[in-house]
Amino acid sequence: MSTLMAAAPGAPVVELDLAELRDDPYPAYAQLRRTAPLAWVPSVGRHLLTRYEDIVHAEKLPEVFSSREEGSLLLRTVGPNLLREDDPQHRRLRAAAEPPTRPRQVRDLWAGTFERNAHELLDRIAGRGEGDLIGDFAEPLAAANLAVVLGLRNASADDVSDWSRSMMAANGNYADDPDTWLRAEQATRAIEDAVAEMAEAARREPDGSVISSMVHATDPVELTEIQNNIKVIIGGGVNEPRDVFGVGAQALLRRPDVRDRVVADPGLWKRVFEETARWISPIGMYPRQLTQDYEIAGVALPAGSRVALVIASGNRDESVFERADEFDIDRPHRPHLAFGGGPHFCMGAWVARHEVSALAWPLVFSRLKGLRLVEGADDRMEGWVFRGLTSLNVTWQA
């Protein structure tokens, strides 16, 4: 099936400026939901699908809305991987990689190390009285935890963080900048070497990690497949927990009444997590390609059409979430779309829930006394494919 790089006949065409989307995509999404819930956006090169019900519908039809998007920059960066495969190939890789990320494994195998990692990072900054909770804490924590779950004992948190940034830059390298490609190639080669070494070690001695689980999978997985899938997990596995941490922490620091309630009743951290992921979803959209002609949101799309499921928009759909633009941990529980749906449901969901809502937030808010935002700090919220804070400058009593 060849890809159609243009608007489907009958699809409304809406011009959106990518710089404006990066700055704040939500007003544009609200407009699309009202007037053109499926629209071809030339600057994105895809049809954007923006209403909650339509997105859920598409997610439940993976045989129509295929993950095998041709010409994807992710494929160029990391090679074939489970994110861009359909079942049964996707299922084979997912079954091999998933067991270490399941909730009981997270609790029994990884939680202790996650907690030590968080304390070590806080020990380093606690005496300073000021810092950037993204650069000094959330990013190195997410990277260190990811290295543990993946089984990359031969990589530092800084390595994982640098690799992730280099690959993420390449995934969005629509400008075809050669230096960006070069840095991504250096990162992916370094990951291949690190994975090959740890796969060999895990073959001799299983350690419960993702690499080990893939090495010992019932349905065999090649080394190249292990390497490519570890690359894709490193690509997303740092920024997503980092961003949900940052956005949620800032939201609470702006609402002392909510913060006080949550600190007094730690059971509420779960609500903070799910509401943060809904309100500003770390992943805003992901691409699909139609395997057959299919009508959705009133538009008949031909086979080969490219569609972006804009989950950030679905999560602000007023027909599902009242006052959807507000951060409100007390809203009625409705399933949000931040983890995606169907067979590609986020593999890291249980890891992220634990490391952020059971450990990172409670430890930061209890150890750093008098925590507050630095007034006038240039902490920007940025991105639309991925969205989060570039920094979070705070002070506390040292």
In whole angstroms, how close is the CB of 88 to other proteins at the nearest point? 13
**83 belongs to the binding site for other proteins (CB under 8 A):** no
**Binding residue for other proteins, selected from 45, 172, 208, 342, defined by CB under 8 A:** 342
> Crossing angle, helix 157-171 and helix 223-237, to 10 degrees?
90
**Distance (Å, rounded) from C-alpha 231 to C-alpha 44?**
24
Helix (H, G, I), strand (E, B), or coil: what is residue 219?
coil
Q: Which of residues 35-54 bind other proteins (CB under 8 A)?
A: none
Q: Name the one range near other proteins by CB under 8 A: 117-125, 209-217, 286-294, 328-336.
A: 328-336
Beta pairing partners, 294: 301
Helices (H), the chain: 18-23, 26-35, 52-59, 73-78, 89-97, 103-105, 111-126, 139-150, 157-171, 178-204, 210-215, 223-237, 239-253, 256-264, 269-279, 311-314, 349-352, 361-367
Contact between 208 and other proteins (CB under 8 A)?
A: no
Q: Which of 155, 308, 347, 364 binds other proteins (CB under 8 A)?
A: 347
Q: Which stretch binds other proteins (CB under 8 A): 199-207, 216-224, 347-355, 381-389?
A: 347-355
Q: Is 312 in the site for other proteins (CB under 8 A)?
A: no
Segment lying near other proteins (by CB under 8 A), choices 193-201, 212-220, 338-346, 368-376: 338-346
| Greatest distance between any 2 Cα atoms in the chain | 62
Report helix angle 139-150 to 239-253, nearest 10: 140
Residue 88 sits in the site that holds other proteins (CB under 8 A): no
Nearer to other proteins, 109 or 126 (CB): 109
Smallest gap from Cβ 388 to other proteins, in A, equals 22
CA dist 228 and 246 (Å) reads: 28
Report residue 91 as tokens. Answer: 């299922």
Closest approach, Cβ 244 to other proteins, in A, equals 16
- Examine residue 65 and tell whether it contacts other proteins (CB under 8 A): no
Question: Can you tell me the distance from the alpha carbon of 36 to that of 187, in angstroms, rounded to the nearest whole number?
Answer: 40
Residue found under tokens 């270490």: 100
Q: Does 254 bind other proteins (CB under 8 A)?
A: no
As measured in angstroms, the least distance from the Cβ of 121 to other proteins is: 27
Stretch that binds other proteins, among 71-79, 111-119, 319-327, 342-350 (CB under 8 A): 342-350
Q: Which residues pair with 393 in a beta bridge?
A: 132
Q: What angle do CA 131, 241, 188 make, to 5 degrees?
A: 100
Nearer to other proteins, 61 or 381 (CB): 61
Give SS3 for 160: helix
What DSSP line would sit under 66-105, residue for residue?
A: ES--TT-HHHHHH-S-GGG--TTHHHHHHHHHSGGGSHHH
Q: Is 285 in the site for other proteins (CB under 8 A)?
A: no
**Interface segment toward other proteins; rule CB under 8 A; list 34-42, 145-153, 286-294, 336-344:** 336-344
Q: 349, 363, 374, 381: which one contacts other proteins (CB under 8 A)?
A: 349
Q: Which of 67, 60, 61 is nearest to 86 (CA)?
A: 67
Question: Which position among 52, 350, 365, 386 is part of the footprint of other proteins (CB under 8 A)?
Answer: 350
Q: Return the residue of 24, 53, 158, 345 that touches other proteins, per CB under 8 A.
A: 345
> Site map for other proteins, 89-128, x if CB under 8 A?
-----x---x---xxx------------------------
Q: Which residue has tokens 């992710």? A: 74
User: Which residues make up the interface to other proteins (CB under 8 A)?
Assistant: 59-60, 62, 94, 98, 102-104, 274, 333-336, 339, 341-343, 345, 347, 349-350
